[in-house]
Amino acid sequence: MAISTSSYHYGAALFQLLSKNKAINITNFPTQSNNSFSINNDFIGLHLKYSTKKSSPWTFSFSRQHQEELRIISEMHKHSFLVLICGSDGITCISYLELKKVLDEYYEETEWIKLSRLPGQSYTLTGTDGVLDHKITSANFPRDILALI
């Protein structure tokens, strides 16, 4: 059986979580897009997105369904994160609350967020509905998630 592109990207992100010597139990969180996970019995919810683009900017699209899945994940977990895999450049994450600053609660059929950065600098996050008021780094992932465990 061939290995899908998404498996490579999601596997790289999950490997970073598992390789940090913390007690982590990861289970699949059932969504139609099949890219969501629960950590430690629904304590932390993750929704993963990837871009295969090699360099900045990286754009991630969100259908109405994706946004509804993210909302449900946030309601069913104490903490929830969107994990963004930027080709081979790096992986970062933002909390659901940060995501709502760039994609509001009024879902259009398709919306987007974009990460951009100059080499060696932090990411700027913009979206259909705004700009995040601070920069994010690739150190956010898995640090921000592991800090909660």
pLDDT tens string 26-64: 999 988 888 999 999 889 999 999 999 999 999 999 999
Asked if pLDDT for residue 1 goes beyond 80, the answer is no
Laid out side by side, the sheet with 44-51 consists of 26-28, 36-39, 44-51, 79-86, 90-95
| Residue 64 to residue 21: CA distance in whole angstroms | 36
Residue 51's H or E segment, with its range, is strand 44-51
Asked if pLDDT for residue 21 goes beyond 90, the answer is no
Mean pLDDT of the chain: 93
DSSP string, 121-145: SPBEEEETTEE-SS-B-TTHHHHHH
Query: What's the pLDDT at 22?
Result: 84
Q: What's at 87, amino acid-wise?
A: G
pLDDT tens string 116-143: 999 889 999 999 999 999 999 989 999 9
Query: What's the pLDDT at 6?
Result: 87
Q: What's at 102, amino acid-wise?
A: V
